[in-house]
Each structure stands twice: as structure tokens, then as C-alpha cells.
């Protein structure tokens, strides 16, 4: 084991997701040729479609894995796609093929350059939405004795907006502190201690982060928040603070999977979809990108008396086993070909980890002063939509339907 560690340096990937903020955007000039623009648009469309499919495949893996069963699920498929796409820049041969295939990129239609340029476009759009609302990017921490290929670092900087840092990984405490301080700043303190310990054989840390700050287009009135009960399962009920609002909401009832869908817009181009199924297993097995398209296009506006629990959750996942199950095997083994990162060193990926956090309150995804909402008065029957049992949550962008965050709330108290 010791000999193997000496022969192959390790590379760690950490994906950070906090519903509250993100990184700086770099502006790049577009192509002058209409054909180039068309080609670029096609590539972005293909990458976006692949990202959405990957999101649902990854969710189903998390839901099926023992470490997630019976627990809340929350992760950022967008951030994971960015991190793995950035890694594919340095992958070659079968390792690259597995990464592309696992991410859902059709190698006969998309080159690595197409993918890089598409993520640059998507990151530009996201960071242009509002510097206060969303920011996303990557960071590379490189050991000061390790010399990556300049081309690799240049692509990460230009297309994945990567910040670059030199550290001494033999000084494990100092290196961990450097990474943790960077992460804490980028997630506005939501994730403050990502790295507990470091392997001195590490030569590179690749970090992908998303920080999203969402405020409801129509905030809930804190005065209407009351204590309620949430049914975790047949034998377990827990007390929660239930937010309440009676007004017009965009909703959809999907009869095919017996699921109520509530559309809650933020005050930007993103929305939260809350999915309340009669049977969670049916929803989890069947859900796919076409469902979201159907729900958003078919939503109808109607007055509801809505109850949603306030909650705050934080999750951490080791994704190595799940990515191996999805066919991305070589990058974790002695067969790894990451020669695009460094020709002189044999590298492998030791771990892929994601940490995510979500806070939902009356103002939105972060604490802020809420404006008073007058309760609607009516003599007609107002249907009630109460999220008092396990439900799914999606945070998605209106135009692309790109999924920023995805999860399942089993128990709002943990």
C-alpha cells in the first residue's frame, strides 16, 4: 500500500454547494461567424440536455445507496457536472471515454473543446444573472512541487473560471486551512470546514462550488408561521415550524404519477419546485427531465392555502462508489490516464465528495426581512396544499430547466 502511494500521486475532487452565493464571472467575446454561433448553440444545448439526464441518474443512485436511505437527500448535479467536466480536460484514452459517457456527452457529437466552451457559456450566463444571487466556479490547489500542464490550467481558468493556488501538501494542517478558508469565503460561511485531514501524497485538489441566494418573489409572512406536525413515516411524526400563505400559486397535478407540483419563483430566473407524491418510490423511479418540462409548461394558476415547513439541512456524500457504478471506473484505479494534467506523474483520483446546504424560510433560501402579505379573504372553498410528509425539491432555471439543486426532504429537523 505504501509503495503504491509512492508510485501514484492522488487527486481529490470536492464539490461544494450552498444555497446562498458563487464566484466571479469572466467575460469572453463571442464568435463573429453565424455558423460558429449556431454550432456553439448546438453544443450548449447538447451539454445542457446531458447535464439534466445526469442529474436524475445521480439522484437515483443517491436514493438507492445505503448511506442515503431513510435520510434527507440534497446535492447539486450542476456543480458535480462542472467538476467532472473540468477533470475530463486532463483525462485521456479510456479514462476520458468513461468520463464523457458517464456524464452523458455524446463523443461523436461533442469534442472536449465543445464541452469546455459550453460550460464557459453556461457559467457566464449564471454569473451574469446577479452577482448577489448566484455564483459558481472552480478552484485548483496544486502542490508546489507538482507542475501541471500549462494547457490544463489555462482551460480550467478560461472555461471553468478556476482560481489557482500553490500549496505544500506535506504541511497537511496549513494546506487544509488554506482550502477551508477559501471554501468558507465562497459559500458565505455555509460550509466552513470541508477538509478535516489531508493525505501528504496529494498533489492536487479540484474544488467546484455553487453558492445560490434565493429570495421568494412573494415572501411568506412570518406572523403566519405556526407549529405543525410532519409525518416522517407511519410510526414517526416530528414538530416543525409551518410557513403558511393563501394566494394564487402556479401548480400542476401529474395524474400519471399522482404527484402535486408547487411552483415557487424566486425574484430572479430561478424557481423552486416542490413535489408532493402519493408514493415517493413511484416518483423517484419515474422522474425525468420531460416531467419538469411538462410541469412548467402545463402549470395553472389557482388560489391555494399552502403550508411548507421551515428547514435547514446539510449533506455530505462520498460519490466514488456511485460514479464507479455509472461506469467511471478507471480514474480511481491504477489504469487512470490523467496525462493531460501531467505527463511526468502517474495520477489517480482518490475521492469525489460533495457537500451541500439548504435553508428555507419565509424570505426564501436565506434569512432576510420579510414583507407582510395580506391574507386573501374569500367565501369560496380554498383547497389546502400541505407539505407535511416527505417531498422532493428542485431548484431550476426557467429557460434551460437546468437543475442547480435537487433533493428529498424526509425529515425537516435533521
Q: Decide if pLDDT at 386 tops 50.
A: yes
CA-CA distance, 115 to 84, in Å (whole number)? 11
Lowest-pLDDT range of 169-183, 255-269, 370-384 = 370-384
pLDDT (0 to 100) of residue 66: 64
Q: What band does 3 get if pLDDT is binned at 50, 70 and 90?
A: very low
Q: Decide if pLDDT at 371 tops 60.
A: no
Map grid coordinates 405543525 to a residue. 228
Q: Which of 234, 265, 229 is nearest to 249 (CA)?
A: 265
Lowest-pLDDT range of 38-42, 365-369, 402-406 = 365-369
CA-CA distance, 320 to 95, in Å (whole number)? 15
Q: Decide if pLDDT at 18 tops 70.
A: no
Which cell is 219 given? Answer: 415572501
Q: Decide if pLDDT at 373 tops 70.
A: no
**Average pLDDT rounded to a whole number, residues 303-312:** 93
pLDDT (0 to 100) of residue 30: 42
Q: At what angle do helices 150-159 and 112-129 cross, to 10 degrees?
A: 40
Of all residues in the chain, what percent carry a pLDDT higher than 70?
A: 84
**209 or 33, which is more confident:** 209
Q: Decide if pLDDT at 226 tops 80.
A: yes
DSSP code of residue 360: E
CA-CA distance, 85 to 99, in Å (whole number)? 8
pLDDT (0 to 100) of residue 185: 85
pLDDT (0 to 100) of residue 11: 66
**Average pLDDT rounded to a whole number, residues 351-375:** 59
**404 or 21, which is more confident:** 404
**303 or 398, which is more confident:** 303
Question: Could you tell me the sign of the dihedral formed by the alpha carbons of 311, 316, 322, 326, in that order?
Answer: positive
Residue-wise pLDDT for 321-338, tens only, equals: 999 999 999 998 889 899
pLDDT (0 to 100) of residue 25: 26
Q: What band does 123 get if pLDDT is binned at 50, 70 and 90?
A: confident
Bridge partners for 207 per DSSP: 14, 139
pLDDT (0 to 100) of residue 19: 44
pLDDT (0 to 100) of residue 309: 95
CA-CA distance, 218 to 238, in Å (whole number)? 27
CA-CA distance, 65 to 35, in Å (whole number)? 45
CA gyration radius, the chain: 22
**Average pLDDT rounded to a whole number, residues 285-290:** 93
Answer whether 201's CB lies under 8 Å from 10's CB: yes
Contacts of 313 (CB under 8 A, 6+ apart): 72, 74, 357, 358, 407, 409, 412, 414
pLDDT (0 to 100) of residue 17: 61
- Beta strands 391-397 and 270-277 are antiparallel
Q: Decide if pLDDT at 187 tops 60.
A: yes
Which cell is 312 given? Answer: 435547514
Give the range with max mean pLDDT: 63-77, 172-186, 193-207, 276-290.
276-290
- Beta strands 134-143 and 202-212 are antiparallel
Answer whether 140's CB lies under 8 Å from 204's CB: yes
Q: What band does 252 get if pLDDT is binned at 50, 70 and 90?
A: very high
Q: Which of 116, 117, 97, 95 is nearest to 107 (CA)?
A: 97
Answer whether 261's CB lies under 8 Å from 251's CB: yes
**Average pLDDT rounded to a whole number, residues 130-134:** 60
Residue ranges covered by each domain of the chain: 2-214+313-358, 222-310+363-409
pLDDT (0 to 100) of residue 137: 77
pLDDT (0 to 100) of residue 360: 87
Q: Decide if pLDDT at 147 tops 60.
A: yes
- Beta strands 226-233 and 236-254 are antiparallel
CA-CA distance, 394 to 293, in Å (whole number)? 13
Answer whether 245's CB lies under 8 Å from 221's CB: yes
Q: Decide if pLDDT at 36 tops 60.
A: no
CB atoms within 10 A of CB 208: 27
Question: Cα separations (Å) of 370 from 217, 221, 363, 373?
Answer: 11, 7, 5, 9
DSSP string covering 148-167, please?
A: --HHHHHHHHHHS-EEEEEE
**Average pLDDT rounded to a whole number, residues 93-105:** 97
pLDDT (0 to 100) of residue 7: 37
Which cell is 163 given? Answer: 482560481
Fold for the domain defined by 2-214+313-358:
Antithrombin; Chain I, domain 2 (3.30.497)
Q: Decide if pLDDT at 8 tops 90.
A: no
**Average pLDDT rounded to a whole number, residues 78-100:** 94
Residue-wise pLDDT for 199-208, tens only, equals: 888 888 888 8
pLDDT (0 to 100) of residue 211: 78
Average pLDDT, the chain: 83
- The stretches of 231-368 forming alpha helices (DSSP H) are 280-286, 289-298, 320-325
Which cell is 162 given? Answer: 478556476
Answer whether 148's CB lies under 8 Å from 164's CB: no
Q: Which of 87, 20, 68, 43 is nearest to 350 (CA)?
A: 87
Q: What is the CATH number of domain 222-310+363-409?
A: 2.30.39.10
Of all residues in the chain, what percent carry a pLDDT higher than 90?
A: 49
Q: Which of 146, 184, 192 is nearest to 165 (CA)?
A: 146
pLDDT (0 to 100) of residue 192: 77
Contacts 24+ apart (CB under 8 A), 164-170: 164/139, 164/140, 165/139, 165/140, 165/141, 166/141, 166/142, 167/141, 167/142, 167/143, 168/143, 168/144, 169/143, 169/198, 169/199, 169/200, 169/201, 169/202, 169/203, 170/200
**196 or 270, which is more confident:** 270
Lowest-pLDDT range of 105-109, 224-228, 273-277, 373-377 = 373-377
Amino acid at each position: 500500500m505504501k509503495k503504491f502511494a509512492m508510485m501514484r500521486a492522488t487527486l481529490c475532487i470536492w464539490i461544494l454547494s450552498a444555497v446562498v452565493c458563487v464566484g466571479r464571472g469572466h467575460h469572453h467575446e463571442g464568435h463573429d461567424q453565424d455558423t460558429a454561433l449556431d454550432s456553439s448553440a448546438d453544443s450548449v444545448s447538447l451539454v445542457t440536455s446531458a447535464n439534466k439526464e445526469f442529474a436524475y441518474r445521480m439522484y437515483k443512485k443517491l436514493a438507492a445507496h445505503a448511506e442515503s436511505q431513510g435520510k434527507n437527500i440534497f446535492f447539486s448535479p450542476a456543480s458535480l457536472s462542472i467538476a467532472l467536466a473540468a477533470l475530463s480536460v486532463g483525462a485521456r484514452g479510456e479514462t476520458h471515454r468513461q468520463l464523457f459517457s458517464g456524464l452523458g456527452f455524446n463523443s461523436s457529437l461533442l469534442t472536449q473543446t465543445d464541452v469546455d466552451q459550453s460550460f464557459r457559456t453556461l457559467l457566464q450566463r449564471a454569473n451574469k444573472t446577479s452577482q448577489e444571487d448566484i455564483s459558481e466556479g472552480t478552484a485548483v490547489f496544486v502542490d508546489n512541487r507538482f507542475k501541471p500542464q500549462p494547457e490544463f490550467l489555462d482551460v480550467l481558468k478560461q472555461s471553468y473560471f478556476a482560481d489557482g493556488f500553490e500549496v505544500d501538501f506535506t504541511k497537511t494542517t496549513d494546506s487544509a486551512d488554506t482550502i477551508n478558508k477559501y471554501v468558507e469565503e465562497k459559500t458565505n460561511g455555509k460550509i466552513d470546514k470541508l477538509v478535516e485531514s489531508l493525505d501528504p501524497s496529494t498533489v492536487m485538489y479540484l474544488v467546484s462550488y455553487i453558492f445560490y441566494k434565493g429570495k421568494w418573489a412573494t415572501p411568506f409572512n412570518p406572523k403566519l408561521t405556526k407549529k405543525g406536525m410532519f409525518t416522517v413515516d407511519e410510526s414517526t411524526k416530528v414538530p416543525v415550524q409551518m410557513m403558511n400563505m393563501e394566494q394564487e400559486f402556479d401548480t400542476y397535478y401529474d395524474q400519471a404519477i399522482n404527484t402535486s407540483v408547487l411552483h415557487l419563483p424566486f425574484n430572479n430566473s430561478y424557481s423552486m419546485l416542490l413535489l408532493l407524491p402519493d408514493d415517493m418510490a413511484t416518483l423517484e423511479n419515474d422522474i425525468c427531465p420531460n416531467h419538469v418540462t411538462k410541469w412548467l409548461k402545463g402549470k395553472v394558476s389557482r388560489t391555494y392555502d399552502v403550508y411548507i415547513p421551515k428547514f435547514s439541512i446539510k449533506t455530505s456524500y462520498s460519490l466514488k462508489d456511485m460514479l464507479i457504478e455509472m461506469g467511471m471506473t478507471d480514474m480511481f484505479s491504477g489504469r487512470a490516464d490523467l496525462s493531460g494534467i501531467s505527463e511526468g506523474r502517474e495520477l489517480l483520483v482518490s475521492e469525489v465528495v460533495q457537500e451541500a446546504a439548504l435553508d428555507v424560510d419565509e424570505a426564501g433560501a436565506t434569512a432576510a426581512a420579510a414583507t407582510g402579505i395580506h391574507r386573501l379573504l374569500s367565501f369560496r372553498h380554498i383547497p389546502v396544499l400541505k407539505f407535511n410528509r416527505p417531498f422532493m425539491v428542485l431548484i431550476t432555471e426557467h429557460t434551460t430547466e437546468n437543475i442547480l439543486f435537487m433533493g428529498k426532504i424526509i425529515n425537516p429537523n435533521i
